[in-house]
Amino acid sequence: MRKLRKSNKIVCSLVGMLIVGLLISGYIPAASAQEKKATVTFWTPFPVPFYEPWSSWVTDTFNKLHPQIKLETTPIPWDRLEDKLLPAIAAGNPPDVFQFARPVFQSAAMGHAQPLDELIENDPLVNPEDWYPGVWYDVTYEGHVYALPFESDSLVFFWNKDYFKEAGLDPENPPEYLSELDLYAEKLTKKNAQGDYDVLGFSPWAGRSVEFMHWGWKNAGTFYDSKAGRITAADPRNIEMLEWEVGYAKKYGPEKMGALAERAKMGGGATAVGMFCMGLSAMRVGGSFFWSQIDKYGPDIDYGMTRYVPIPKGGKNAGISEGTLIFVPVGAKGIKEYPGAVWEFMRWYSINAMPIWSLQVGDLVSRPEYSDLWMFASNPKVEECTKAIELTHPWPKVAALWFYRDQLKQAVEYAIYGKKTAEQALKDVEEAVQREMERYK
Amino acid sequence: MKFKISKSRVANTRNGLLFVSPFLIGFSVFYLYPFIATFYYSFTSYSLVGASRWIGVLNYKELFIEDGLFTTSLYNTFYYAALFIPFSLVVGLIIALLLNTNIKGRSVFRAIYFLPSIIPFVAMGMLWVWILNSRYGIVNEILRALGLPAPSWFSDPNWSKPGYVIMSVWASGQTMIILLAGLTGVPRQLYEVAELDGANWLHKIVHITLPLLTPTILFILIINLIGAFQIFTQAYIMTDGAPANSTLFYSLYLYRVSFRYFKMGYGCAMAWILFVIVFTLAWSLFKSSARWVYYGREEG
């Protein structure tokens, strides 16, 4: 009994000391709690794993510049982004700001992103006309603005000058039309004794042109009739372009082309080091970010680049532009409790931090005002890519855009492997996407 | 007296339930509830955000009638299962029989054949992308050296699925180990008696080993059946359905529908169809087992 009491005493005094201690230590934060910092939570796909300093740089710099706000950045891998966001929204606890792929159509249509119209109207520093029109187009959906743009990219044609010289072609003159491209591709292709390719002249579905839409647009094809709300994938002009791709498959063999591409695959299918960087292909349609990869992984390759990707005779220039954007997820607490802090960060990230990111990794600035700055303008590669943004064709404003693009990729594969005719493949896409659209009504 | 017993019984029951409650709660929350909930959601249109909308059998109708990829993925999975299940059994059995003989360094060989099955799927996928590389892979190097045609495995829709089968058979050391365990349970006397009767090794395998192994074989068939229908990780890492959707397995498509397009209701319907398929197949295996599985009991 006595022992117990003794230990009780010890416990009591310990607890007492703890309470007093808590009170003393709690006094200081309690005093400053009146001007409690607004905490802005931010999820971004960017820093992992290649550019690790980015997330800490953003956090440190923003917090230094804005002592009254506390930014918390959480990096999330690209392909996990939506997996993380949707349950967070469903559970009522999403981040205050979320960085995601452009365009915003699907996020807006599915009710993941909040409209920002009021915030933009009330902020004299944020003017839609300060961004490239194509970029701003991508953050709007059905008359509302749902996001602020971040960086951009564009579509550029690359060619290997050494291979051009070897094949007796003028290394300063890339093909302008598809007919020339086909001819050059044939001349540049090298086969070995076993009949396998050592160098492939060109593959219409490699790299960034795995996206089919831009080939269709180049032939004046359309993919969506916004007035009728109809998907028009099987537009005869699109079919014509898919048949042109099938022509390559028939001539060069999709398996042999695939076998060559496999060589360039790093481990589990990542194509960071593309065929072009390894000297396995002579011409390639790539993203604007591609030159920095060539410089890094294929420093010996002497290449040229132009914003004029070959087009069919009578066709038009029509490239792809993507990038990322930031939006406020539905149900985010920050925008309700301290909208000023959230908006301050969004504006800073979209306008001030964006050019620094672009400079660091070779992406493009989304605002023309920066493109003339010496650090961008002095690099002819960046200049060419930036000009390519102006040749960009807008995406169809379809809620199921990713589904649509996935379907088109599959249609190209069906067609080149001879599983479906070009017409059938595109008709099937049309039907599937049309059906998918019903879900958004 | 009676009262006392039932009191302690009550206490025992209560304590027992308390002790198993971690499992009961975990099972109900993480298995039972989701299991029932997916059945409900399979009749709705649900995208995680916002409320679900009851649409009746529309998901099932779309799957069976309109969705071509559903049929494709089902075909791919059946194709894979139909090759993988018998092959892994036969290969596992042959290796187990060989490893059951009295050879030097037997345990080393056992370890070697078992090793592939403990490699994580992701690492295995990375490895096999290289082993089956059309131009520089070791498999094709050997085929070429033998003067055989070297297929473009994962670049050819006709060879991509066999590629997966080869990889999975390589990694089915589990099958081999279970069969080995089964083999050690076969009484030696039976072989001795057979030898006295003049039976050769083939007779012994066919008339003694195989019949006594049938319970083990049934177990393996069921485990591999379930495993084959769930093939996902390798396909997701290695080909993601390409080329031309020839490796779009059922689970991969289910994942794509649910987590790329966020058609959760549709995904739930797919999951239930998969459940029914696997359940039916496993059940018919069990049913048939009465005819071919020997449990060592005398009949009649």
| A54-69 confidence digits (pLDDT tens) | 888 899 999 999 999 9
Q: Is A102 exposed, middle or buried (0-12, 13-18, 19+ CB in 10 A)?
A: buried
> Strands A69-75 and A38-44: what pairing?
parallel
pLDDT in tens, chain B (300 residues): 555 568 888 999 999 999 999 999 999 999 999 999 999 999 999 988 888 899 999 999 999 998 999 999 999 999 999 999 999 999 999 999 999 888 888 889 889 989 998 999 889 988 898 899 888 889 999 999 999 988 989 989 999 999 999 999 999 889 999 999 999 888 889 999 999 998 888 999 999 999 999 999 999 999 999 999 999 999 998 888 889 999 999 999 999 999 888 899 999 999 999 999 999 999 999 999 988 888 876 554
Q: A362: pLDDT confidence band, cut at 50, 70 and 90?
A: confident
Write the residue in A254, A263, A267 that is nearest to B136 by C-beta: A263
Q: What local confidence, expressed as pLDDT, does residue A152 receive?
A: 94
- Model confidence at A260, in pLDDT bands (50, 70, 90)? confident
Q: Do B134 and A255 touch (CB under 8 A)?
A: yes
Chain B interface includes A427 (CB < 8 A): no
ipTM: 0.85
Inter-chain CB proximity B245 and A406 less than 8 Å: no
A vs B: CB pairs below 8 A: 91
For residue B100, give the amino acid letter.
N
Q: Which residues of A touch B133 (CB under 8 A)?
A: 262-263
pLDDT for res A77: 85
Question: Mapping DSSP to helix (H, G, I), strand (E, B) and coil, where does residue A24 land?
Answer: helix
* Residue A29, pLDDT above cutoff 50: no
Burial class (CB in 10 A: 0-12, 13-18, 19+), B146: exposed
Indicate the burial class of A133 (C-beta count within 10 angstroms; 0-12, 13-18, 19 or more).
middle
A368 sits in which H/E element: helix A368-371
Distance, in Å, from the CA atom of A242 to the CA atom of A209, rounded to the nearest integer, reads 12
Mean of per-residue pLDDT scores for chain A: 88
What is the predicted pLDDT for the residue at A31? 42
Contacts of B125 in chain A (CB under 8 A): 268
CA pair distance A203, A210, nearest whole angstrom: 10
Q: What is the pLDDT of residue A360?
A: 83
The DSSP symbol for A195 reads: S
CA pair distance B129, B240, nearest whole angstrom: 12
Does the beta-carbon distance from A262 to B47 stay under 8 Å? no
What is the C-alpha to C-alpha distance for residues A237 and A219, in angstroms, rounded to an integer?
6
A259 to B259: CB separation less than 8 angstroms, yes or no: no
The set of residues, in sequence order, having a beta carbon less than 8 Å from that of B147 and lying 6+ positions away, is none
Is the omega angle on the peptide bond into residue A103 within 30 degrees of 0, that is, cis?
A: yes
pLDDT band at A15 (very low <50, low <70, confident <90, very high): low
- CA–CA gap between residue B136 and residue B178 (Å, rounded): 35
Give the whole-angstrom CA distance, residue B164 versus residue B262.
27
Q: What is the pLDDT of residues A388-410, one digit of tens each?
A: 999 999 999 999 999 999 999 99
